[in-house]
Amino acid sequence: MGKVITFCIVGFLIAYYAFTSGAVFELTKSEVTERLDVPYSIALSNEKTRIVGVYGNNDDTDCARWLTEETDPSILIYADYCGTSLIMDLSETRGCSYEEPRRDHYLFLTSWNTEHKKMVYGWFEGLREYEPLPDLSNAIEVFRRGDAVVYTCEVGD
């Protein structure tokens, strides 16, 4: 009887660890982050999900630094969750939002955005939604480092 209980406890702990470590999220190739379906791991899944604002290369930082130091501060910067986090890390006073502006603005796309062709939105803690990149047909590229790019975008009346 003691061995059965031990095996049950060990089996439960292994299953618990597999789910809470993010291993099941990765093994099932889950991409659900807009609700808590299968627990993910930042260490295992952040490259795919961008749950937290980790900046993968200097290109992103160079673009963000250019935006905070060389652009008109009265013009809003529009970026996704990770781009906004980077801008806020570099400047406490620079206006930046990941809600699409209704006036002229800069659009900051990180390397991850251009590689995956989507933007990450974090409306609630630990939950992320993904949207395709905004329409760039009227955008003008003003700065680029590698795959990270900054556009100016005019909003029509």
**pLDDT, tens only, 26-76:** 666 766 555 556 565 555 555 555 566 666 688 999 999 999 998 888 889
The pLDDT-based confidence of 5 (bands split at 50, 70, 90) is: confident
Helix (H, G, I), strand (E, B) or coil at 33: coil
* Gap between the Cα atoms of 138 and 152, Å rounded: 9
Angstrom distances, CA of residue 22 to CA of 42, 125, 128: 8, 17, 16
Share of the chain above pLDDT 90, in %: 24
Facing residues of 153 across strands? 105
CB atoms closer than 10 angstroms to residue 117? 10
* Residues 112, 118: Cα–Cα separation, whole Å: 8
CB 140 within 8 A of CB 152: yes
Whole-number Å distance between alpha carbons of 34 and 22: 16
All residues at 6 or more sequence positions from 38 whose CB lies less than 8 Å from its CB, including other chains:
19, 24, 25, 28, 30, 32
Whole-structure pTM value: 0.72
pLDDT in tens, 82-103: 888 888 888 888 878 877 788 8
CA 47 to chain centre: 9
